Amino acid sequence: MKELIDHTFLAAECTGADVDRICQEALDHGFRAVCVPPYFVTRAQKLLSGSDVLLATVVAFPNGYQETAVKVQEIRRAMDEGADELDIVINIAAVKSGDWSYVRSDIESVSTTARLKGKVSKLIVEASTLTEEELKQVCDICNDVKPNFVKTSTGSRGGATVEQVKFLRANLVEEIKIKASGGIRDKAFAEELVAAGADRIGTSAGIALLA
């Protein structure tokens, strides 16, 4: 389980001490990655330098309705500061507005920006806010663009469910991995999500998942 965990702290009140703590916990327990707010990428990079723990941060978090150019700038800055992985919220407002050409362009731009630098893109689709038809169309676009991961949620509008993970796995090509995130606080639930098809688990309760 430990190699599947993105040990995460994204609360608005996150402090440098919190970042120091989760980085040390990730180093101690061998977690796959640490996910921190953009403000703390440089700090976390110094703490994780030379280790096998990857550094992730979020982009357009948590609402996703920033213009594409703003997202691209966020991604470039995060990569310059040492981020290995980018968890990027898609434009939910555009999805809900039925502006599928914009949704596709946005997903293409952010995924390509990360790919060109050899970094990992994880597109947050906020599954709990989408209809099944909307989520299917997002999956179809992702199948064409091929980001590294599709991620269930930010955690701010409901967490991951087994049903969401199963739906994503059934509608995404095999090479696109799935990250389940939000409300995952015990090992049994994490194991259910992995059994349903999750390749990565985002949680602030990483240590509890090892119990």
Structure tokens at 79: 């990569």
Asked if residues 186 and 158 have their Cβ atoms less than 8 Å apart, the reply is no
Residues taking part in catalysis: 87, 151, 179
* Residue type at position 162: V
> What's the full length of the chain, in residues?
211
Tokens of 98: 């039925």
Q: Is the CB of residue 122 less than 8 Å from the CB of residue 148?
A: yes
| Amino acid in position 111 | S
DSSP secondary structure letters along 119-184: -EEEEE--GGGS-HHHHHHHHHHHHHH--SEEE---BBTB---HHHHHHHHHHS-TTSEEEEESS-
Cα separation of 200 and 65, whole Å?
25
Which of these, 72, 153, 135, 55, lies nearest to 107 by C-alpha position? Answer: 72
Q: How far apart are CA 6 and CA 32, in angstroms?
A: 6
